Amino acid sequence: MMVNICYNVNLMNPSRIFFVILLVFFIVSQPKAFAARGGNEKLHGVFQGMTQEKFFRAYPRKSARTYREDENGQWITFNEPLKGPVLHMATFHVQQGKVAGWTIDDRDEVVDEYLGEFCSQGIIRGMPKIYAALKEVLRRISLPDFLNVTDRRRPVLVTEYYDSGTARFANTSEIISSAEDAPAGEMGLTIIKLSSALNDADSPLPIEGVLAHELAHRVLDHARKGRVTCNAEREANGKVRQWGFAEEFKAASKMFGHKEGEPVSCREE
């Protein structure tokens, strides 16, 4: 869990209560079909009703991709298959000490698990448009690229910075791990920093365009390759279109324009 501590933001204020109400509403209004698989089926020896002790012997916690817990139990996602090339994701629901069921490639659930851990609470609680756009982009990118950017061995952390108020001078984001969380970051990490001004956009499209563009840089590994050229920008924009965000990219270009001093050759229509 990534918690943001900001100089001028009081986390105990009514927005926290609002968040809890929103969360309760979300849980009540969207019962997840977690017993979609299970029944008489088996997945690598796991069956519905299996005790969690046995389950975690087959699927060790330290091998999990992501993890989430609430009053209805634990949701733990693993690579499917657990060893070898990753083709899918399997999310298991453990309730009252037993496996209640599982789903394959439940993107919405995995996005929730992932962002609960690697997105700042400043965004989750205080920048709802950015948070919604982030979820939308992660839901829509291709599965191989999603598996890549949410690989906890090299996670993408998303946090905010402020371009106004006293927090523009300094603020802190804190990652909190629980004993249940698998290790993370052994292959480094990527930090995407988003301006508070992004949350002022009237439509989600430009925010999604910007987020998809930043994720494309990560997928194409531009920072590690030292590629900060116009070609890299074009390559990233190509990836954004390939993911199906052409309209969002256009909206982002229109709203946020181009970097100051950026050569004309970097510009795209």
Binding residues (CB under 5 A) for Zn ion: these are 233
* Residue whose CB is less far from Zn ion, 142 or 229: 229
Nearest-approach distance from CB 197 to Zn ion, in angstroms: 17
Nearest-approach distance from CB 3 to Zn ion, in angstroms: 28
CA-wise closest residue to 192 among 164, 231, 219: 219
* Residue whose CB is less far from Zn ion, 112 or 233: 233
Peptide bond into 81 cis (omega under 30): yes
Nearest-approach distance from CB 159 to Zn ion, in angstroms: 18
Write the burial class of residue 210 (CB in 10 Å: 0-12 exposed, 13-18 middle, 19+ buried).
buried
Please report, for residues 54, 128, 193, 207, 260, the alpha-carbon distance to residue 256 in angstroms, rounded to integers and kept in the order given.
52, 19, 15, 9, 11
Nearest-approach distance from CB 236 to Zn ion, in angstroms: 5
Nearest-approach distance from CB 229 to Zn ion, in angstroms: 10
* Residue whose CB is less far from Zn ion, 143 or 191: 191
53-60, long-range: CB within 8 Å, 24+ apart, which pairs?
55/92, 55/94, 55/99, 59/92
* Residue whose CB is less far from Zn ion, 233 or 248: 233
* Residue whose CB is less far from Zn ion, 109 or 233: 233
* Residue whose CB is less far from Zn ion, 145 or 233: 233
d(CA 141, CA 128): 20
* Residue whose CB is less far from Zn ion, 94 or 192: 192
* Closest residue to Zn ion: CB criterion: 233
Nearest-approach distance from CB 140 to Zn ion, in angstroms: 19
Nearest-approach distance from CB 210 to Zn ion, in angstroms: 9
